[in-house]
Chains A and B, each alone.
Chain A
Amino acid sequence: DAGVIQSPRHEVTEMGQEVTLRCKPISGHNSLFWYRQTMMRGLELLIYFNNNVPIDDSGMPEDRFSAKMPNASFSTLKIQPSEPRDSAVYFCASSPLGRANTEAFFGQGTRLTVV
Protein backbone atom coordinates (compact mmCIF):
# COMPACT_ATOMS: atom_id res chain seq x y z
CA ASP A 1 0.00 0.00 0.00
CA ALA A 2 1.29 3.46 -0.88
CA GLY A 3 0.06 4.99 2.34
CA VAL A 4 -1.75 8.30 2.61
CA ILE A 5 -0.96 10.43 -0.42
CA GLN A 6 -1.04 14.20 -0.29
CA SER A 7 -0.52 16.73 -3.03
CA PRO A 8 1.12 19.04 -3.62
CA ARG A 9 4.11 18.53 -1.31
CA HIS A 10 4.93 22.21 -1.44
CA GLU A 11 2.80 25.19 -2.32
CA VAL A 12 3.80 28.83 -2.48
CA THR A 13 1.01 31.26 -3.18
CA GLU A 14 0.26 34.92 -2.92
CA MET A 15 -2.03 36.33 -0.29
CA GLY A 16 -5.63 36.36 -1.48
CA GLN A 17 -5.27 33.37 -3.77
CA GLU A 18 -7.25 30.17 -3.40
CA VAL A 19 -5.33 27.11 -2.26
CA THR A 20 -6.53 23.52 -2.58
CA LEU A 21 -4.79 20.68 -0.79
CA ARG A 22 -5.56 17.10 -1.75
CA CYS A 23 -5.50 13.80 0.08
CA LYS A 24 -5.98 10.17 -0.85
CA PRO A 25 -6.43 8.03 2.28
CA ILE A 26 -5.35 4.43 2.61
CA SER A 27 -7.81 2.16 0.86
CA GLY A 28 -10.30 0.68 3.29
CA HIS A 29 -9.79 3.36 5.93
CA ASN A 30 -13.04 5.09 6.77
CA SER A 31 -11.78 7.90 8.98
CA LEU A 32 -9.90 10.87 7.61
CA PHE A 33 -8.34 13.79 9.45
CA TRP A 34 -6.86 17.11 8.39
CA TYR A 35 -4.22 18.59 10.72
CA ARG A 36 -2.25 21.81 10.61
CA GLN A 37 1.22 21.98 12.16
CA THR A 38 3.02 25.16 13.20
CA MET A 39 5.85 25.81 15.61
CA MET A 40 3.65 27.87 17.89
CA ARG A 41 0.54 25.70 18.02
CA GLY A 42 1.82 22.21 17.28
CA LEU A 43 -0.50 19.74 15.59
CA GLU A 44 -4.07 21.03 15.43
CA LEU A 45 -6.96 18.89 14.26
CA LEU A 46 -8.93 20.92 11.74
CA ILE A 47 -11.64 18.47 10.69
CA TYR A 48 -12.49 14.79 10.95
CA PHE A 49 -14.54 12.70 8.51
CA ASN A 50 -16.03 9.29 9.09
CA ASN A 51 -17.43 7.41 6.10
CA ASN A 52 -17.10 10.62 4.08
CA VAL A 53 -19.27 12.59 6.52
CA PRO A 54 -17.76 15.51 8.47
CA ILE A 55 -18.04 14.59 12.15
CA ASP A 56 -16.15 17.40 13.84
CA ASP A 57 -15.09 20.62 12.13
CA SER A 58 -14.69 22.69 15.27
CA GLY A 59 -10.98 23.04 14.58
CA MET A 60 -11.48 24.81 11.27
CA PRO A 61 -10.13 28.26 12.07
CA GLU A 62 -12.31 30.45 9.89
CA ASP A 63 -14.88 30.47 7.14
CA ARG A 64 -11.99 30.81 4.73
CA PHE A 65 -11.29 27.13 5.35
CA SER A 66 -13.47 24.40 3.91
CA ALA A 67 -13.04 20.66 3.49
CA LYS A 68 -14.85 18.07 1.43
CA MET A 69 -14.77 14.33 1.05
CA PRO A 70 -16.81 13.48 -2.04
CA ASN A 71 -15.91 9.80 -1.87
CA ALA A 72 -13.96 7.31 0.21
CA SER A 73 -10.73 7.83 -1.70
CA PHE A 74 -10.43 11.58 -1.93
CA SER A 75 -10.58 14.68 0.24
CA THR A 76 -9.73 18.34 -0.25
CA LEU A 77 -8.95 21.20 2.08
CA LYS A 78 -9.49 24.60 0.55
CA ILE A 79 -8.41 28.00 1.79
CA GLN A 80 -10.01 30.98 0.10
CA PRO A 81 -8.70 33.63 0.32
CA SER A 82 -5.33 32.59 1.74
CA GLU A 83 -3.42 34.76 4.21
CA PRO A 84 0.23 34.71 5.36
CA ARG A 85 -0.81 33.35 8.76
CA ASP A 86 -2.09 30.23 7.02
CA SER A 87 1.50 29.25 6.29
CA ALA A 88 2.05 25.86 7.90
CA VAL A 89 2.43 22.18 7.14
CA TYR A 90 -0.94 20.55 6.52
CA PHE A 91 -1.21 16.84 7.18
CA CYS A 92 -3.89 14.43 6.14
CA ALA A 93 -4.25 11.20 8.12
CA SER A 94 -6.52 8.20 7.89
CA SER A 95 -7.43 5.38 10.24
CA PRO A 96 -9.13 2.05 9.72
CA LEU A 97 -11.92 2.19 12.26
CA GLY A 98 -14.88 4.45 12.75
CA ARG A 99 -13.71 6.09 15.90
CA ALA A 100 -11.02 8.70 16.43
CA ASN A 101 -9.17 6.77 19.11
CA THR A 102 -7.33 4.47 16.77
CA GLU A 103 -3.94 4.66 15.13
CA ALA A 104 -3.69 7.38 12.53
CA PHE A 105 -1.54 7.02 9.42
CA PHE A 106 -0.20 10.35 8.25
CA GLY A 107 0.63 11.52 4.77
CA GLN A 108 3.87 13.32 3.94
CA GLY A 109 2.18 16.69 4.37
CA THR A 110 1.85 19.82 2.26
CA ARG A 111 4.09 22.72 3.19
CA LEU A 112 2.10 25.86 2.43
CA THR A 113 3.72 29.26 2.23
CA VAL A 114 1.53 32.30 1.68
CA VAL A 115 3.47 35.43 0.79
Chain B
Amino acid sequence: GQQVMQIPQYQHVQEGEDFTTYCNSSTTLSNIQWYKQRPGGHPVFLIQLVKSGEVKKQKRLTFQFGEAKKNSSLHITATQTTDVGTYFCAGPGNSGGYQKVTFGIGTKLQVIP
Protein backbone atom coordinates (compact mmCIF):
# COMPACT_ATOMS: atom_id res chain seq x y z
CA GLY B 1 0.00 0.00 0.00
CA GLN B 2 0.94 3.61 -0.27
CA GLN B 3 3.35 4.89 2.33
CA VAL B 4 4.38 8.43 3.00
CA MET B 5 7.83 8.76 4.55
CA GLN B 6 8.99 11.95 6.17
CA ILE B 7 12.46 13.07 7.22
CA PRO B 8 13.91 14.15 9.50
CA GLN B 9 11.80 13.03 12.42
CA TYR B 10 13.26 15.70 14.71
CA GLN B 11 15.04 18.96 14.04
CA HIS B 12 16.45 21.51 16.44
CA VAL B 13 17.41 24.86 14.97
CA GLN B 14 18.59 28.15 16.36
CA GLU B 15 16.10 30.94 15.94
CA GLY B 16 16.80 32.62 12.62
CA GLU B 17 18.11 29.51 10.91
CA ASP B 18 16.31 27.85 8.04
CA PHE B 19 14.50 24.52 8.28
CA THR B 20 13.44 21.95 5.70
CA THR B 21 11.39 18.78 5.97
CA TYR B 22 11.01 16.25 3.19
CA CYS B 23 8.18 13.92 2.28
CA ASN B 24 8.50 10.91 -0.01
CA SER B 25 5.83 8.57 -1.28
CA SER B 26 6.16 5.07 -2.65
CA THR B 27 3.45 5.84 -5.20
CA THR B 28 2.42 8.83 -7.29
CA LEU B 29 0.22 11.27 -5.41
CA SER B 30 -2.72 13.11 -6.91
CA ASN B 31 -2.02 15.86 -4.41
CA ILE B 32 -0.18 16.44 -1.17
CA GLN B 33 -1.24 18.35 1.90
CA TRP B 34 0.80 19.86 4.70
CA TYR B 35 -0.40 20.29 8.27
CA LYS B 36 1.09 21.83 11.41
CA GLN B 37 0.43 20.59 14.92
CA ARG B 38 1.46 22.78 17.82
CA PRO B 39 2.50 21.00 21.05
CA GLY B 40 -0.64 19.73 22.76
CA GLY B 41 -2.78 20.82 19.82
CA HIS B 42 -4.39 19.29 16.79
CA PRO B 43 -3.23 19.21 13.15
CA VAL B 44 -4.14 22.34 11.23
CA PHE B 45 -4.20 22.43 7.45
CA LEU B 46 -1.53 24.63 5.85
CA ILE B 47 -1.70 24.02 2.13
CA GLN B 48 -2.45 21.60 -0.68
CA LEU B 49 -0.27 21.08 -3.75
CA VAL B 50 -1.74 19.50 -6.85
CA LYS B 51 0.39 20.18 -9.91
CA SER B 52 3.68 18.56 -10.81
CA GLY B 53 6.55 20.89 -9.88
CA GLU B 54 4.23 23.28 -8.07
CA VAL B 55 5.73 25.81 -5.66
CA LYS B 56 3.62 27.80 -3.20
CA LYS B 57 4.64 30.33 -0.59
CA GLN B 58 3.06 31.44 2.64
CA LYS B 59 5.18 34.22 4.12
CA ARG B 60 8.35 32.44 5.31
CA LEU B 61 7.07 28.98 4.30
CA THR B 62 7.80 27.54 0.85
CA PHE B 63 6.11 24.33 -0.29
CA GLN B 64 7.23 22.30 -3.29
CA PHE B 65 5.73 19.32 -5.10
CA GLY B 66 8.15 17.17 -7.07
CA GLU B 67 8.01 16.77 -10.82
CA ALA B 68 7.15 13.10 -10.47
CA LYS B 69 4.55 13.89 -7.78
CA LYS B 70 6.21 11.45 -5.40
CA ASN B 71 7.96 13.90 -3.12
CA SER B 72 7.42 17.24 -1.49
CA SER B 73 9.23 19.64 0.79
CA LEU B 74 8.45 22.39 3.24
CA HIS B 75 11.11 25.04 3.80
CA ILE B 76 10.92 27.67 6.52
CA THR B 77 13.17 30.69 6.17
CA ALA B 78 14.51 32.38 9.30
CA THR B 79 12.64 30.29 11.85
CA GLN B 80 10.88 31.91 14.78
CA THR B 81 9.76 30.42 18.08
CA THR B 82 6.20 30.48 16.77
CA ASP B 83 7.22 27.87 14.17
CA VAL B 84 7.63 25.25 16.90
CA GLY B 85 5.49 22.18 16.30
CA THR B 86 5.21 19.04 14.23
CA TYR B 87 4.82 19.35 10.48
CA PHE B 88 3.01 16.57 8.64
CA CYS B 89 2.64 15.81 4.99
CA ALA B 90 -0.39 13.82 3.93
CA GLY B 91 -1.23 12.22 0.63
CA PRO B 92 -3.84 10.01 -0.95
CA GLY B 93 -3.17 7.54 -3.72
CA ASN B 94 -3.62 8.49 -7.36
CA SER B 95 -6.19 5.96 -8.44
CA GLY B 96 -9.16 8.23 -7.99
CA GLY B 97 -12.32 7.51 -6.06
CA TYR B 98 -12.31 7.34 -2.31
CA GLN B 99 -8.80 7.29 -0.98
CA LYS B 100 -7.17 6.72 2.35
CA VAL B 101 -5.25 9.86 3.28
CA THR B 102 -1.95 8.72 4.74
CA PHE B 103 0.04 10.98 7.03
CA GLY B 104 3.79 10.91 7.36
CA ILE B 105 5.28 10.41 10.82
CA GLY B 106 5.87 14.13 10.98
CA THR B 107 8.91 16.31 11.62
CA LYS B 108 9.06 17.79 15.10
CA LEU B 109 10.67 21.22 14.95
CA GLN B 110 12.20 22.80 18.02
CA VAL B 111 13.42 26.39 17.74
CA ILE B 112 16.00 27.51 20.25
CA PRO B 113 15.69 31.21 21.08
- List residues of chain A with CB under 8 Å of any chain B CB: 33, 35, 41-45, 48, 50, 55-56, 58-59, 91, 93, 98-109
Contacts and interface: CB of A to CB of B under 8 A. Distances in A.
B92 A101 contact: yes
19 contacts: A33-B101, A42-B104, A42-B105, A43-B43, A44-B103, A91-B42, A98-B98, A99-B98, A100-B92, A100-B101, A101-B31, A101-B92, A101-B99, A101-B101, A103-B33, A103-B48, A104-B33, A106-B44, A109-B42
Query: Interface residues of B toward A: which range?
Result: 20 to 34
A43 B48 contact: no
B59 interface: no
B73 interface: no
B80 interface: no
Contacts of A109: 42
A36 B77 CA distance: 31
Contacts of B101: 33, 45, 100-101, 104
A43 to B, nearest CB: 4
Nearest to B4: A42
